[in-house]
Structure 1
Amino acid sequence: MNEGTVQAAGCVLWRRSPFDDAVEICLVHRPKYDDWSHPKGKLKRGEDPLAAAIREVLEETGHHCTPGAPLPTMYYVAHGRPKRVLYWAAEATDGTFAPSNEVDRIVWLPPMAAGNRLTQPRDRHLIAALLESLHHTQ
């Protein structure tokens, strides 16, 4: 891996709808970039990627989660630097969102609506990967 590559991790956070038990996906809104994305963030020095992903979910959404299947790794350039983001499926357990400077809103949406809300089209295939992983664990 290129030494200049930014290392990050995140989760596609999901829950069962309290209304009909269907899958809902959590997206976060970052006012700095005015974008909608899956919760993710940079690894701290020496931090395990899965631990970082769980930490980022809690920091950005206020929710604890139970990690599940690994999802596809994303590679792209952000702010002129290559970036690698490792993702996992993660089921939300308990928690409450509190707005911050980093994330001012979250939404829980059905998969298709979540895909349409995501700012980066590259993030959409993570939803399909999540649904596939859930299908195999049912």
Structure 2
Amino acid sequence: MSGTPILAAGCVLWRPAVSGHGIEIALVHRPKWDDWSHPKGKRKRGETAEACAMREVLEETGRRCELGTRLPTAHYTVDGRPKEVAYWSARALDGGFVPTREIDALVWLPPSAARHRLTQPRDRELLDTALSTTHP
């Protein structure tokens, strides 16, 4: 049994809305958990939280991103181990989504619809914080 936290990082990924009004939020679907969440993942040894967040966004959404405001770190437990996920608001850049076994779907939604789709309450709180600090 280890009390050492699992370190991870991710982003609330956004882009200007295709309609030209407001922004859209990227959510990923993980079939293993059958949930909708922000792109995130575990840090590799020696990797900074920033580098991890950008790598995970690229791996899970196919998009490069530009990190913006640092958001609150999420703290929760997974299988009895503490987990800490560092988050940023991030603007999506170029790239394209390709489904994988880990992430089988990506959606871009207006913030209110994204908030509704998110599975975990902590992810909804994170979205609310990101929206209050994101200025496209």
- Cα distance in 1, alignment partners of residues 73 and 100 from structure 2: 27
- Cα distance in 2, alignment partners of residues 112 and 127 from structure 1: 10
- Cα distance in 2, alignment partners of residues 96 and 50 from structure 1: 21
- Cα distance in 2, alignment partners of residues 18 and 101 from structure 1: 28
Q: Gaps spanning 5+ residues in structure 1: where?
A: none
Residue 109 (structure 1) aligned with residue 109 (structure 2): yes
- Cα distance in 1, alignment partners of residues 10 and 79 from structure 2: 19
- Cα distance in 2, alignment partners of residues 3 and 94 from structure 1: 39
Query: 2:3 touches 2:82 (CA, 8 Å); kept in 1?
Result: no
- Cα distance in 2, alignment partners of residues 21 and 92 from structure 1: 16
Residue 41 (structure 1) aligned with residue 41 (structure 2): yes
| TM-score normalised by L of structure 2 | 0.95
Structure 2 CA distance for partners of 1:105 and 1:95, relative to 1, 3 Å: same
Query: 2:7 touches 2:84 (CA, 8 Å); kept in 1?
Result: yes
Partner of 1:11: 11
Deviation at 1:3, TM superposition (A): 5.2
SS of alignment partner, residue 131 of structure 1: helix
Aligned residue type for 2:64: H
- Cα distance in 1, alignment partners of residues 3 and 52 from structure 2: 19
Partner of 1:62: 62
SS of alignment partner, residue 54 of structure 1: helix
Q: Gaps spanning 5+ residues in structure 2: where?
A: none
Number of residues of Structure 1 aligned to a counterpart in Structure 2:
135
Deviation at 1:21, TM superposition (A): 3.0
Residue 20 (structure 1) aligned with residue 25 (structure 2): no
- Cα distance in 2, alignment partners of residues 51 and 103 from structure 1: 20
| TM-score normalised by L of structure 1 | 0.93
Aligned residue type for 1:56: E
Partner of 2:131: 131
